[in-house]
Amino acid sequence: MDTQALFARAGVGFQTYEQMVGLVHDGAFDLQAWDALLHLLQGQLRANYVSLVLLPDLSGPGLPILFAGPARQDLLTAYADVLHGLDPFVNLPRNRMLAVDELISEAEWLDSVVYRSCMAPLGIRYLAGADLDVGSEAVCRFRVCRSADAGPFGEAERALCALLLPHLKRALRARAVLDGSDRERRLYAGALERLEVATLWVDRRGKVLNSNRVADEILAADDGLRLVGRTLRPSLHAEKVLLHEMIARVGAERGKGPGLVEGMTLTRPSGRTRLGVLIRPVPPAGIAEYGPCPEAVLHISDVERSVGASPALLRSLFGLTSAESGLALLLVEGMTLDEAAVRQGVSHHTARSQLRSIFAKTGVTRQTELLRLVLRSVVPLG
C-alpha cells in the first residue's frame, strides 16, 4: 500500500503526523524525543504501553527499553533479564508491523509464560509490533500494547504504525552510526590515555570540548598551560597568541586536503623542560556533524612524564628480555646507565651488557636514538 493510501486509512491529521515524524528523527540525537513520541503514540493508538527496545545485539545481556505507560519496574526487570528469552513475539519478519495473533493462536498466547507472568499483570491483552533492522545484524523492537477493554488493533492503528516505521528505521540507523563514532572516539582516547599521551579536542577558537586524564593533570598543574573558562591559556602571552593562531589555521584548513599539522613548545614558569604541543586537524564529519564539534586535536608531550610503554610491549615489539625492556624504559625516562643499574639492582657491567643487547636488537647505537625509537613505536603522533 502506498503512502497516500496509508495516510488516508490512518485517520490522523497532517499536523499530528508531522509532529510524530519530527520526533522520530530528532530521537537520533536526543532520546527524549523518542520518549515524547512514545507518549504521543500511546494516546493516538489508545494503547496502555508503547515501547522501543534498543537491542544492539540479540545475544547481549540486558535490554535498554524506552516506554510510555505505568509500567512496574519489577516486571520490566524480570522481562529484560529472563522473560524476553521466552517471548513468542520476537524475531519477527523485519520492518513489518504485525499483531501477535498473526503469529500464534489466541490460546497459545494466553497460555504463554510471558503473557501470564508479565503481560496480564500489566493489563496487556493485545500486542502488535515490528522488528527493525538497523544494520550490522542489530535489531530494535517496536511494540504497542492494548488492554482488553481497548480491543484489538484496527486498520487505522496499523496504517499509522506502517507510516512511521520507515522513518523510525532511518533514525535508528543514524543513531547507530553516531553511537559507533562515539565508541571509536572513546576507544582512541582510552588508548592514548594508557600511553600517557595528553590529548585535548578543541574548536578553532581554542575552546576545549573534551580532554583525557593526562591532559587534565597537566592543565591542573598550571605550569606552562592552564584553562581559563574552557579556553587554553599558555603562561606567556606571546605563546598564547601563537598557539591560538595555529589552532585557528589548522581548523580553517581541515577538509581541504592533507591535514595541516602545527607544533610548538610552551615555557614552564617552574623552569622544568618545556611542554611540546602537536596540533592536528579533526576530519569534518560532513552532514553527520552536529552540536559543538572538535576541529583540532592537541597532543601535549611532557618528557618528564612516563612514556607509557610497558615492559611487555617492548618485549613484544623488539624481542627484548624482561631485564632489557626494564632497562630500556628507565633510559627512555631520562636515567643514566648507572642510575638505571642501581634501580634494577644490577652491576654497571651487567647493565652495559644489557644495553649492548638492546642496541643490537633495536638497530640503534645511542641512547637518544633509543628514546626516539620507543616514542615513535608506542606513540605514533607525528
In this predicted structure, what is the pLDDT of residue 381?
A: 41
Residues 6 or more apart whose Cβ sits within 8 Å of residue 72: 121, 122
In this predicted structure, what is the pLDDT of residue 61?
A: 41
From 279, 301, 323, give the residue that closes a domain: 301
Residues 40 and 67 in one domain: yes
The CATH number of residue 275's host domain is: 3.30.450.20
Percent of residues, the chain, with pLDDT higher than 90: 26
Indicate whether 190 belongs to any domain: no
In this predicted structure, what is the pLDDT of residue 259?
A: 62
Indicate whether 287 belongs to any domain: yes
Residues 109 and 162 in one domain: yes
Residues 262 and 316 in one domain: no
Residues 31 and 105 in one domain: yes
Residues 257 and 363 in one domain: no
Integer distance in angstroms from the first to the last C-alpha of the chain? Answer: 57
Residues 148 and 218 in one domain: no
91 φ/ψ sector (left φ>0, alpha ψ -120 to 50, else beta)? left
What three-state secondary structure class fits 305?
Answer: coil
Tell me the pLDDT tens digit for each residue of 84-108.
555 677 778 888 888 988 888 989 9
Tell me the pLDDT tens digit for each residue of 2-41.
788 888 888 888 899 999 999 999 988 888 898 899 999 9
What integer is the mean pLDDT of 298-311? 71
- Say which residue, 374 or 243, is predicted with more confidence: 243
CA gap 317, 296 in Å, rounded: 30
The CATH number of residue 53's host domain is: 3.30.450.80
In this predicted structure, what is the pLDDT of residue 198?
A: 82
Residues 295 and 320 in one domain: no
Indicate whether 125 belongs to any domain: yes
Residues 320 and 352 in one domain: yes
From 179, 204, 221, give the residue that closes a domain: 179
Q: Is 374 exposed, middle or buried (0-12, 13-18, 19+ CB in 10 A)?
A: buried
Q: Which residue has the cell 577538509?
A: 255
Pairing of β 126-133 and β 98-99: antiparallel
What integer is the mean pLDDT of 353-372? 81
In this predicted structure, what is the pLDDT of residue 285?
A: 55
Residues 244 and 278 in one domain: yes
Residues 127 and 69 in one domain: yes
In this predicted structure, what is the pLDDT of residue 332?
A: 72
Indicate whether 266 belongs to any domain: yes
Q: Does the pLDDT at position 289 exceed 60? A: no
Percent of residues, the chain, with pLDDT higher than 70: 76
Tell me the pLDDT tens digit for each residue of 126-158.
999 898 887 656 678 899 999 999 999 999 999
What integer is the mean pLDDT of 158-170? 91
Indicate whether 186 belongs to any domain: no
pTM of the model: 0.53
Structural domain that includes position 327: 311-378
Residues 34 and 87 in one domain: yes
Residues 6 or more apart whose Cβ sits within 8 Å of residue 205: 231, 244, 247, 248
Q: Does the pLDDT at position 373 exceed 90? A: no
In this predicted structure, what is the pLDDT of residue 138?
A: 65
Q: State the Cα torsion 281-285-287-291 to the nearest 10°.
A: -80
Report yes or no: 50 and 41 within 8 Å, Cβ to Cβ: yes
Indicate whether 185 belongs to any domain: no
From 277, 301, 325, give the residue that closes a domain: 301
Tell me the pLDDT tens digit for each residue of 262-287.
888 899 999 988 888 888 888 765 44
Indicate whether 184 belongs to any domain: no
Number of domains in the chain: 3
Average pLDDT, the chain: 80
Phi, psi of 354 (to 5 degrees): -65, -40
Indicate whether 238 belongs to any domain: yes
The CATH number of residue 346's host domain is: 1.10.10.10
Confidence tier at 257 by pLDDT (50, 70, 90): low
Residues 175 and 39 in one domain: yes
In this predicted structure, what is the pLDDT of residue 353?
A: 92
pLDDT-wise least confident of 65-79, 93-107, 208-222: 65-79
CA gap 42, 37 in Å, rounded: 8
